[in-house]
Structure 1
Amino acid sequence: MGWRLLADVMMVLHAAFLLFFVLGGFLAWKWPKVVWAHLAVAVWSLAIVVIDYDCPLTGAEKSFLRRGGEEVYATGYINHYLDGTIWPEGATPTAEKIGFALIVISYVGFFVLRSRRRSRVASVESRT
């Protein structure tokens, strides 16, 4: 029973990781220091997609399932839990492209906002 709980915790942590992957750049608009953690997650995720290797978070979940005597799913986390549930079956490559596009959009917005903040600070400092 403990192994199954660990597998479930790992599944939830993986979901949180993926949500942060998609939304973290937008969170940095409000909390700029978050961008560094998000950049690490984005690079990690890009490497997993481009190099096409198994995510260690999935491996940990599967290991916990095995140790708990549960059946292990054959695919990766995204294909097992999200493909056909969150988006249409087989649309994972499109979902990945949308995810990375959202990161680009969030970073463009981050740098625009950062530039505007610096301009405002510089103009206030020049007046004083």
Structure 2
Amino acid sequence: MNRHAVLADAVMLVHFAFLVFLVFGGFLAWRWPRLIWVHVLAAAWGFSTVAFSLPCPLTDVEDWARERAGEATLSGSGFIDHYIEGVLYPDRYTALLQGLVGVAVVASWCGFIARRAT
């Protein structure tokens, strides 16, 4: 495995980790309060990519590395389209899952505020 393939796989793992943090980071902030600001930024970025169809730089880096490794790129699809939609759940549930992620983020922030108020 060459260094570009390793880089592409590492970027893919970072991307997955970012998505996990996006969903659960607000709950982590209950334990580590300073983390809330990082989570707010992550949630803002995640919302922006969905609402405004912004390209993700991690996807660009992964595509760049895969191309140099002689591997197939994400073929113009985004990270979620390639690795998650249709793989972990059917495409028809995308809007529902986006809504559930939004609910999880807001719930984590409400819990964070409630814990800080006590």
**Common topology (TM > 0.5):** yes
Q: TM-score w.r.t. structure 2 length?
A: 0.92
The answer for the alignment partner of 2:35 in structure 1 is 34
Out of 17-26 and 67-76, give the one that drifted further.
67-76
Alignment of 1:50-61 (within 5 A): 50-61=51-62
The answer for the alignment partner of 1:87 in structure 2 is 89
Q: Which has the larger radius of gyration?
A: 1
How far apart are residue 101 of structure 1 and its match?
A: 1.2
Alignment of 1:93-108 (within 5 A): 93-108=95-110
What secondary structure is seen at the aligned counterpart in 1 of 2:92?
coil
- Consecutive aligned runs of 4 or more in structure 1 exceeding 4 Å deviation: none
RMSD: 1.1
What secondary structure is seen at the aligned counterpart in 2 of 1:90?
helix
Q: TM-score w.r.t. structure 1 length?
A: 0.86
Alignment of 1:59-70 (within 5 A): 59-70=60-71
What does the per-residue CA deviation read over 1:64-116, in whole Å, with 9 as the maximum and x for residues that have no partner?
Answer: 10111111122111111111222223322222221111100100111011111
> In structure 2, how many angstroms separate the alpha carbons of the residues matched to 1:90 and 1:66?
30
What secondary structure is seen at the aligned counterpart in 2 of 1:35?
helix
Specify every segment of 5 or more residues in structure 1 that has no aligned partner in the other structure, as ranges. Answer: 117-128
Q: Relative CO higher for 1 or 2, CA cutoff 8 Å, sep ≥ 6?
A: 2
- State the number of aligned residues: 116
**Percent same amino acid among aligned pairs?**
37
How far apart are residue 49 of structure 1 and its match?
A: 0.8
> In structure 1, how many angstroms separate the alpha carbons of the residues matched to 2:81 and 2:95?
10
Q: 2:78 aligns with which of 76, 79, 102?
A: 76
Out of 93-102 and 54-63, give the one that drifted further.
93-102
What secondary structure is seen at the aligned counterpart in 1 of 2:29?
helix
1:110 aligns with 2:112: yes
Alignment of 1:13-32 (within 5 A): 13-32=14-33
**1:77 maps to amino acid:** F
Specify every segment of 5 or more residues in structure 2 that has no aligned partner in the other structure, as ranges. Answer: none
